[in-house]
Structure 1
Amino acid sequence: MKCPFCGTTDTTVVDTRINDEGDVVRRRRRCTRCDKRFTTYERADVQLPLVVKKNGARVPFARDKLRASLELSLRKRPVTVEAIDGAIDGIEERLLASGEREILSQQLGELVMAELKKLDKVAYIRFASVYRNFEDVDAFSRVIKEVSPSGRRKADPA
């Protein structure tokens, strides 16, 4: 590490501490040339991929936009904030694990749908109806059948 006072690269670590969350390491260093002390911080440098929109625009992944989308689909549904946070964390982990620098918005939408399907079937259908832009009732009906327990409609008792 380069000394900010004299510019030499010969420094030693005097003390190391990890913050309470465990994601930042604080190091006190001493320059062997000028004997001055300074602090450095280390944290993991992870980047979520850029989202490639349908029009080709590339935008940074935005956790708050993802949360807003999930919360809109889950409005008035019995799903806890913790469950929503878990779904968002799961999506981010999958994005990070992919190692990709870019992801198509359609792929991100599929990840969201997979999480919603686990959280709440009604929210899944709400999101799918907007995301997949259903053209007719039959397309909507197919998604409902997909999430119904038996995968098909019950027979009429007539």
Structure 2
Amino acid sequence: MKCPFCGHLDTQVAETRVAEDGGFIRRRRRCGACGKRFTTYEKPEINFPVVVKKDGRRTEYVAAKLRGSFAIALRKRPVSTAQVDAAIERIEEQLLSLGLRELASSRIGELVMRELKKLDQVAYIRYASVYRSFEDIDEFKTLVDEVRR
């Protein structure tokens, strides 16, 4: 590991700890040349499938976009950040378990709708109205009737 202070390549691990949740490893290192200490973090590299948009464009999966969709749908709704984090984690686990290299954006949208339906009915209807591009009030009524059942 290269020292961030002097650039020397010879550093030694002084201490190693696993995070409480086991998601990463924290290492304290010491530079052999300048003697300064610094911390590094190791975590597994995860490759999500490439997202194929409706128009055929391909883009990388971006977790921030998923979180943004939840934030918009859940705006001013009584849902905790922990609940949103858990929902996003479930979606990402499903994306990874599929083992696909490419995935249609519509499939991700359906996963989001399923999670929102569990979290908050109003947020579910908000998201569905945009996602399904409702044209008139009858489509809203049909969705609301579906949620009430």
Q: TM-score range by the shorter chain?
A: 0.7 to 0.9
Distance in 2, Cα, partners of 1:85 & 1:126: 19
Counterpart residue number, 2:58: 58
Residue pairs, 1:36-115, within 5 angstroms: 43-115=43-115
User: 1:42: Cα distance to partner?
Assistant: 6.2
User: 1:24: Cα distance to partner?
Assistant: 3.9
Conserved? CA contact 1:51–1:103, under 8 Å: yes
Identity %: 50
Change (3 A) 1:118 1:26: closer
TM-score normalised by structure 1 residue count: 0.70
Distance in 1, Cα, partners of 2:83 & 2:114: 14
| Counterpart amino acid of residue 110 in structure 1 | E
Change (3 A) 1:71 1:26: closer
Tell me the secondary structure at the aligned position of residue 51 of structure 1.
strand
| Counterpart amino acid of residue 81 in structure 2 | V
Counterpart residue number, 2:3: none
Conserved? CA contact 1:49–1:103, under 8 Å: yes
Change (3 A) 1:43 1:71: closer
Distance in 1, Cα, partners of 2:77 & 2:42: 40
Q: Point out the structure with max Rg over C-alpha.
A: 1
Tell me the secondary structure at the aligned position of residue 77 of structure 1.
coil
Q: How many residues align?
A: 126
Conserved? CA contact 1:51–1:58, under 8 Å: yes
| Counterpart amino acid of residue 105 in structure 1 | S
Change (3 A) 1:43 1:72: closer
Conserved? CA contact 1:16–1:25, under 8 Å: no
Tell me, which stretches of 5 or more residues in structure 2 are unaligned? 1-8, 28-40
CA deviations on 1:22-57 (whole Å, 9 max, x unpaired) are 234589xxxxxxxxxxxxx86433211111111111
Tell me the secondary structure at the aligned position of residue 65 of structure 1.
helix
TM-score normalised by structure 2 residue count: 0.74
Distance in 2, Cα, partners of 1:146 & 1:132: 15
